[in-house]
C-alpha cells in the first residue's frame, strides 16, 4: 500500500475513534445517564468534539490530502476516499474550534432542556435553549456558505446537494397527489384498529420485538437494543450497531414499528464494509438513503400482507388475549389504518409526509427569519389544524414530540420523506430483479431482499451520491410516481 495513503488512513481512523467515543457517551446519555451526570457529560462530549475538530482541520491533514490527490498509484477506492475527505475538509475548515465547542455545549444544554420541557409538558422551558440553537445554525449556514437559500447549507450535511427549491417542488407533488388520495380514503368506511390500543405487557412486547429484529436479519452479536425516550440507531463501527425502542403498554404499534424501523437503519450500518473503518467508503451515503432502508423495512416489508402471513401466528401466540380472535386480514388492515394523528412517529405512512411538510416549513422559516422561536408552539398548532385537521392539546404531543431540534438537527426532517420515496422506488426494482421476492417474504424469508440491499446499496458506502445511486439501481432519478403507485395499489385494496 502507498505509504502516504497508509498514514492518511491511520489519521482518519484516529479521528473516527474519537468521534465514535463521543457517540458512546451520547448513546449512554440517552439510555443510562443519571440526572446529575448531565453537567460533566456535556463537558466530556464538548471536549471530544473540539479534539476531533482540531484533527479534522489541522494543516497536516490538508498537506497530506494535497500530496495524495496528485499521486497516480492510488486505487479507485483510495482516490475516492481522498476526494470525499477533501470535500468534507473544505466544509469543516470553515468552522472554528471555538464554534464547534460552543455548538456542542449548546446542543447538550438544549437536549436536557428538551427532556425537562417534555416532562413538564411546557414549551417555555425549551424556548431559550432552542433559540440559541437556531441562532447557531443560522451562523453555521453563513460560515459554510450557500448559493440560493441558507437552509440549503444545513440540508447539505444530511443530504448532499439537496436544495430548498427542489424539496419545495417535491412537496408540491405531495400536496397535488397524496393529499387528494388521502381525502378519498377518508370518505371510505374506516377499518378496525382498536385491538392495537389494548393492554400489551411490556415484557412480552420487548421479547417479541427482539424476535422480529432477528427475523429480518439484525445481528445481535454486532449490536443490542435498549429503551430510550425517542427511538434511535447509533453505531461505533459496522460491528457495533445499537438500536433503541420505546414501549407503550396501551399501544402495540409503538414498539413494533420502532423495532422494525430502527432495525432497517441498523441493517444498513451492519452492511457497510468494515475494512473501510474511518473512511468515507465505510460510511452511509446520506440520511435520505439511510431513511430509505428503515422505511423499506418498516413499510414495504413490515406492513405488507406477505410479511404477516409468515409472522402473524407467532404474534397471536404471544398475545392471545389481544389477537387470538383477530383474523389476519383484520390485523393487516388495522396496522395500515389511515387516519390523521398528532405524533409523527406513530403516523400512518401516508399522513406521515404531512408531518414532515410542517417541520420543513417551520425550519425553513426559522432559518430565513420569517418565523420566530417565541411563538412557535402556536404556529405548530395552526399548521396541524390546517394540514391534518387535528387539535394539538399540549406541548408534549405538539412541538416537543421530536428530539431533533434539541440536537441541532435542522435540515434533517426532509430526508424522512425522501427516504420513503426512495424506498418505494428501490423496492419496486428489487421486485423486478427477484421474481419470487414476495413469495419468499410470505414464507418468512427476508434474506433475498437483505442480500439485494447489501449488494446494491450497503457495500458501496459513500461511493455514489444519493442521486447517482438511484440512477445506478433503477435507471432514473428519484421519481415520486413509485410511491404513489405503491400507495394506490396497497390502500385501494385495503379500503376497497
Q: Give the residue numbers marked as catalytic.
A: 262
Interior CA angle at 305 toward 300 and 309, to 5°? 125
- Three-class DSSP category at 233: strand
Residue 226: phi and psi, rounded to 5, are: -140, 180
- Three-class DSSP category at 413: coil
Q: Give the sheet arrangement for strand 225-227, strand by strand.
A: 225-227, 240-245, 233-237
Do the beta carbons of residue 441 and residue 306 sit within 8 Å?
yes
* Cα Rg of the chain, angstroms: 23
Instruction: Identify the DSSP state of 248.
Output: B
Query: How far is it, in rounded angstroms, from Cα 214 to Cα 176?
Result: 39
Per the structure block, which three cell numbers stand in for 261?
424501523
Do the beta carbons of residue 252 and residue 244 sit within 8 Å?
no
Residue 479, C-beta contacts closer than 8 angstroms, at least 6 positions apart: 421, 425
- Three-class DSSP category at 60: helix
Instruction: Identify the DSSP state of 189.
Output: P
Per the structure block, which three cell numbers stand in for 468?
447517482
The strand pairing partners of 312, in sequence order, are: none
The pairing of beta strand 240-245 with beta strand 225-227 = parallel
Interior CA angle at 475 toward 472 and 476, to 5°? 105
Do the beta carbons of residue 401 and residue 230 sit within 8 Å?
no
Do the beta carbons of residue 113 and residue 406 sit within 8 Å?
yes
Do the beta carbons of residue 267 and residue 242 sit within 8 Å?
no
Cα 316 to chain centroid, rounded: 30
The strand pairing partners of 237, in sequence order, are: 240
CB under 8 A, 24+ apart: contacts of 30-33: 30/228, 30/229, 30/230, 30/232, 30/244, 31/226, 31/227, 31/228, 31/244
Query: How far is it, in rounded angstroms, from Cα 113 to Cα 109?
Result: 6
**Measured in Å, how far apart are the chain's first and last C-alpha atoms?**
62
Number of helical H runs and strand E runs in the chain:
22, 3
Angle (deg, nearest 10), helices 466-474 and 414-433: 20
Query: How far is it, in rounded angstroms, from Cα 106 to Cα 330?
Result: 48
Amino acid at each position: 500500500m502507498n505509504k502516504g495513503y497508509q498514514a492518511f488512513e491511520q489519521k482518519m481512523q484516529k479521528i473516527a475513534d474519537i468521534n465514535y467515543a463521543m457517540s458512546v457517551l451520547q448513546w449512554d446519555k440517552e439510555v443510562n445517564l443519571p440526572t446529575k451526570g448531565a453537567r460533566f457529560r456535556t463537558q466530556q462530549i464538548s471536549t471530544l468534539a473540539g479534539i476531533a475538530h482540531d484533527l479534522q482541520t489541522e494543516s497536516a491533514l490538508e498537506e497530506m490530502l494535497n500530496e495524495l490527490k496528485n499521486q497516480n498509484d492510488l486505487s479507485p477506492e483510495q482516490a475516492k476516499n481522498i476526494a470525499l475527505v477533501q470535500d468534507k475538509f473544505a466544509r469543516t475548515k470553515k468552522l472554528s474550534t471555538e464554534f464547534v465547542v460552543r455548538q456542542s455545549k449548546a446542543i447538550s444544554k438544549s437536549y436536557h432542556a428538551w427532556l425537562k420541557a417534555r416532562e413538564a409538558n411546557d414549551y417555555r422551558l425549551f424556548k431559550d435553549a432552542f433559540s440559541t440553537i437556531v441562532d447557531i445554525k443560522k451562523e453555521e449556514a453563513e460560515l459554510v456558505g450557500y448559493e440560493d437559500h441558507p437552509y440549503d447549507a444545513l440540508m447539505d450535511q444530511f443530504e448532499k446537494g439537496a436544495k430548498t427549491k427542489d424539496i419545495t417542488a417535491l412537496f408540491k407533488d405531495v400536496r397535488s397527489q397524496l393529499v387528494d388520495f388521502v381525502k378519498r380514503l377518508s370518505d371510505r368506511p374506516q377499518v378496525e384498529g382498536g385491538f392495537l390500543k389494548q393492554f400489551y405487557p411490556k415484557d412480552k412486547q420487548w421479547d417479541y420485538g427482539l424476535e422480529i429484529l432477528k427475523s429480518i436479519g439484525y445481528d445481535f452479536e454486532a449490536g443490542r437494543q435498549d429503551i430510550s425516550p425517542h427511538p434511535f440507531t447509533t453505531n461505533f463501527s459496522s460491528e457495533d450497531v445499537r438500536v433503541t425502542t420505546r414501549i407503550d403498554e396501551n399501544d402495540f404499534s409503538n414498539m413494533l414499528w420502532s423495532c422494525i424501523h430502527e432495525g432497517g437503519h441498523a441493517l444498513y450500518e451492519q452492511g457497510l464494509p468494515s475494512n473501510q473503518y474511518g473512511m468515507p467508503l465505510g460510511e452511509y451515503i446520506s440520511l435520505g438513503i439511510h431513511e430509505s432502508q428503515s422505511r423499506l423495512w418498516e413499510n414495504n416489508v413490515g406492513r405488507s400482507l406477505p410479511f404477516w402471513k409468515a409472522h402473524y401466528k407467532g404474534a397471536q401466540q404471544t398475545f392471545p388475549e389481544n389477537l387470538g380472535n383477530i383474523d389476519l386480514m383484520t390485523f393487516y388492515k388495522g396496522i395500515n389504518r389511515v387516519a390523521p394523528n398528532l405524533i409523527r412517529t406513530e403516523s400512518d405512512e401516508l399522513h406521515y409526509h404531512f408531518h414532515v411538510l410542517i417541520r420543513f416549513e417551520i425550519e425553513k422559516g426559522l432559518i430565513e427569519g420569517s418565523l420566530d422561536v417565541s411563538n412557535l408552539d402556536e404556529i405548530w398548532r395552526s399548521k396541524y389544524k390546517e394540514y391534518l385537521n387535528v387539535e394539538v392539546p399540549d406541548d408534549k404531543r405538539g412541538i416537543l414530540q421530536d428530539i431533533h431540534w434539541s440536537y441541532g438537527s435542522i435540515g434533517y426532517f426532509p430526508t424522512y420523506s425522501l427516504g420513503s420515496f426512495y424506498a418505494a422506488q428501490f423496492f419496486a426494482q428489487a421486485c423486478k430483479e427477484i421474481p419470487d421476492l414476495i413469495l419468499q417474504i410470505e414464507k418468512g424469508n427476508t434474506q433475498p431482499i437483505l442480500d439485494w440491499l447489501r449488494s446494491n446499496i450497503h457495500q458501496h458506502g459513500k461511493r455514489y451520491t444519493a442521486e447517482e445511486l438511484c440512477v445506478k439501481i433503477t435507471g432514473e432519478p428519484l421519481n415520486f410516481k413509485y410511491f404513489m403507485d405503491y400507495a394506490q395499489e396497497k390502500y385501494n385494496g385495503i379500503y376497497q
